[in-house]
Chain A
């Protein structure tokens, strides 16, 4: 059985596809969108997060650590997270923290174990609910998905892939027979801006959207909006053109990116870049919806 690196399994998700769903967050992403509010999803391996604001200074971790990653500075607990990389004692370390300030993100699991977790809520899925594979970029672990998704289908569970679609079409094609619905983001139509903000040009995403349309697979598009950055008139026009040519789009959800996730950046000791400060996210979404009509 293949193993997957999973960040989290969240029950009762109502925004990751229709109905009530269980969303599996896969770890690892080949993109690095500047507004990503799950930054701990980007690196493919397990990693340690340190939520300093929860620390109560008991120093239990100091005596446990074999890599001298901890120090006290003026009564404040500081950590060098780079020293945690590859450490085989991360899970124990995290469990040992009474305050939950040390958290390991990323656990391995196999398809059968994952299926059992997903089946726990099967009486709530009905026809429209089910499982959503998200992340990170779930399609980077598509060998695992090739095992897992058919198991879900056999068990009568509806499947949804929440993906950047920014991978080789072959990976997607193999999963088509086992995927009922796709969720995809439109971040930028302009390849240069896409590269600037997300690390890749995003052309593959659009190409794959067309292919999905040809294959007749239903898609729900999401548009994370950053004021003054991807809500311009040109962006809106390009998106409108795209929407006119796609035959399979069930729905388009616009939303203004919010500042959630700042604490995670801090916990990863990475820089947090705020977007949409002072902007009403609902108004932003409404304006784009207007432009797309």
Chain B
């Protein structure tokens, strides 16, 4: 690999950071101790906006930063990267230099906050205010040199690095209660721990997050967990982070809690109390349904126990991995099976928004490979024939994905650049100058393939089995033609398909099909090894169910083009009519535990139903217990009153505080685009 090419990439990245850091304001708050904020880059006019993409290519912001700055301090990172070492290769020498260059800018950023705070303190009239501003100045100055002293400095350091990482104002937060724990202990041992103050600073942190931007921000805060000996890692900070959220109640950050055998009852009770308010916070991760599969996949127990979630619900290994993921389209695979490798001819390009109402529109396209002939439906004699065709189409697509991922794995082993800002947070990278991808800290490879929606796909397969081969309402050819017409003029058939058994009602025939296709997916993906022995981690999940709905034509389950597809392992909206326990029963039939990259069950309850003695918290608690027992790895429960959601559509200004769960994140309902609002309203079962 060309030395100059590598150097150019790094220099470009460093220059981009330098440019951005200069544009960020130097914010000293009028109250409180947490300095720093910036407006998301959307509000900037970038002459060189391609620079932002250089950063994004080197850092997808979906994983927590490492811990080196907390161990060494900014000064320590600079010291360790100032000199070329005799052991350096050309690559590591250049990368080390890149880290150094970026952290010089980081230090400047901190120092200018110190300078401004000091100036303001001199101008301050109120002596309390002067003290406060001086303290901010001291914090910033100290952090520019040494490792943090105490909790407030540690959170301030985290915050500065977080701000500097992302021009978008978002990014994965990670296990902050664990990362900052040593600094809490420091304060405790020095007799200076001030709980009230710590709580205020955390609240200020949350408020700044919400002020910057809300919604699809990747801001996952993972709390609690267990160490490799199985000892519980809940600590005082875990409770503080939760308490701060109960005060602020907004969309950010997205809270996640790990639950295991030794989780304190107090923590569980807080989670249930929070879930009872309906916002879908926190998301629950059941360790016992996640860790075993990770270990079976060859991830060391110690690493597995350090897992957090990324920008969404995918698992990352804090301090040990980044993440790259791809999404297969399981429902589209059904379409390709019916049309023998072609798309449904009814499809036309659709302009849509990803989730925010105030966001640019785009025209999505499928990522699947067209043209693989899995068989002409006119020649299929039985459901087994159809299922075989589906399997071969699925196999073909998975082979394609595996090739794509394999290429990426090799590129990463060759010369993909990880942002030097990130490199500077990984101890190995700082000490050896190696890119995290190549010995600099990403010791656990984290390449993931997500399945797309198995639930809706299972509905489709079952509808074919039931309507074509059991009840003989139509032939496969007729079905294909009806789908090609988007069911226009085929209303009777469409109704029959809609009434075929659907996932989410505890029906074994559909559950078995969903389990079968999940099994095929998981087995195929877990069988892969790269030349260097790396695996692909599978998940029964999708992020882009809205996009998929807009690129998948009418399907055998009675869905028309653009009708909703289910998310993750949840039923197609409207399909589940037997309540949440039946949904869990359907999900329990899937091998979700083996989809440890991300397998999620999203439950949405009717909030208006908790009357006449129905004990909200008790019921949530039972649903949670039953779901853990059923093997669900990742669990989210949201509750809405349909009436309120509809009113919020009419009068958004009156419902700004209505928070809903979207996919992997929470958002203000009124900020979402209409399609997504509809999807969420239809989730209520």
Which A residues fall within an 8 A CB radius of B?
Answer: 10-12, 14-15, 18-20, 56, 58, 60, 98-100, 120-121, 123-126, 128-129, 220, 222, 251, 253, 255
Contacts and interface: CB of A to CB of B under 8 A. Distances in A.
A124 B622 contact: yes
Contacts of B623: 20, 124
A11 B618 CA distance: 17
Contact of B581 (A18, A58, A124, A251): A124
Interface in B467-507: 491-493, 495-496, 499, 506
Interface in B605-645: 609-615, 618-619, 621-623, 625-626, 629-630
B618 A19 contact: yes
The winner among A10, A129, A222, A251 for most chain B CB atoms within 10 A is: A129
Nearest to B614: A14
A120 B630 CA distance: 11
Nearest to B624: A124
B629 A123 contact: yes
B580 interface: yes
B579 A18 contact: no
Given A56-B491, A98-B499, A11 B613 contact: no
B492 A123 contact: no
25 contacts: A11-B578, A12-B579, A12-B581, A14-B614, A15-B611, A15-B614, A18-B613, A19-B615, A19-B619, A56-B492, A60-B492, A98-B492, A98-B493, A98-B495, A100-B495, A120-B581, A121-B626, A123-B630, A124-B623, A124-B625, A126-B621, A126-B625, A128-B618, A251-B613, A253-B613
The winner among B491, B493, B612 for most chain A CB atoms within 10 A is: B612
Contacts of B621: 126
Nearest to A58: B492
A250 B513 CA distance: 45
Nearest to B628: A123
B619 to A, nearest CB: 6
Would you list the 5 A-B pairs with minimal beta carbon distance, nearest first? Answer: A12-B579, A124-B626, A14-B614, A123-B626, A98-B495
Contact of A126 (B580, B614, B622): B622
B585 interface: yes
Contacts of B611: 15, 255
Contacts of B613: 15, 18, 220, 251, 253
B639 to A, nearest CB: 12
Identify whether the interface residues of B are mostly helix, strand, loop, or mixed.
Answer: helix
A56 B492 CA distance: 8
Contact of B495 (A18, A99, A126, A128): A99
Contacts of B629: 123
Contacts of B618: 18-19, 126, 128
Contacts of A253: 612-613
A40 to B, nearest CB: 18
A79 to B, nearest CB: 19
A240 B626 CA distance: 40
A255 B625 contact: no
B471 to A, nearest CB: 9
B622 A125 contact: yes
Given A15-B611, A18-B613, A120-B582, 13 more contacts: A10-B579, A11-B581, A12-B578, A12-B580, A20-B581, A20-B619, A98-B499, A100-B495, A120-B506, A123-B626, A124-B626, A126-B622, A251-B613
A58 to B, nearest CB: 5
Contacts of A14: 609-610, 614, 619
Identify whether the interface residues of A are mostly helix, strand, loop, or mixed.
Answer: loop
A282 B491 CA distance: 42
Nearest to B493: A98
Contacts of A12: 578-582
Contacts of B581: 11-12, 20, 120-121, 124
Nearest to A124: B626
A58 B614 CA distance: 43
A255 B612 CA distance: 8
Contact-size category for B: 20 to 34
Contacts of A125: 622
A57 B330 CA distance: 35
Nearest to A252: B613
A251 to B, nearest CB: 6
A129 B495 contact: no
Nearest to A125: B622
Interface string B388-399: 000000000000
The winner among A14, A15, A129, A255 for most chain B CB atoms within 10 A is: A14
Contact of A123 (B499, B615, B625): B625
A15 B609 CA distance: 8
A120 B580 CA distance: 12
B622 A19 contact: yes
Contacts of A98: 492-493, 495-496, 499
Nearest to B496: A98
Interface string B572-603: 00000011111011000000000000000000
A11 B582 CA distance: 7
Interface in B21-55: none
Interface string B504-542: 001000000000000000000000000000000000000
B641 to A, nearest CB: 14
A259 to B, nearest CB: 16
B586 to A, nearest CB: 11
Contacts of A120: 506, 581-582, 585
The winner among A18, A19, A124 for most chain B CB atoms within 10 A is: A124
A106 B235 CA distance: 55
Nearest to B494: A98
The winner among B492, B580, B582, B613 for most chain A CB atoms within 10 A is: B613
The winner among B580, B582, B619, B621 for most chain A CB atoms within 10 A is: B619
The winner among A19, A121, A123 for most chain B CB atoms within 10 A is: A123
A14 B578 CA distance: 13
B18 to A, nearest CB: 56
Interface in B428-448: none
A11 B581 CA distance: 7
B582 A15 contact: no
A172 to B, nearest CB: 23
B495 A56 contact: yes
A253 B614 CA distance: 11
Nearest to A60: B492
Contacts of A128: 618
B366 to A, nearest CB: 31
Contacts of B579: 10-12
Interface in B297-334: none
Interface in B122-138: none
Contacts of A100: 495, 499
A158 to B, nearest CB: 13
Contacts of A15: 609, 611-614
A222 B613 CA distance: 11
A35 B420 CA distance: 72
Contacts of B584: 124
Nearest to A12: B579
A177 B626 CA distance: 28
Interface in B369-425: none
A18 B626 contact: no
A21 to B, nearest CB: 10
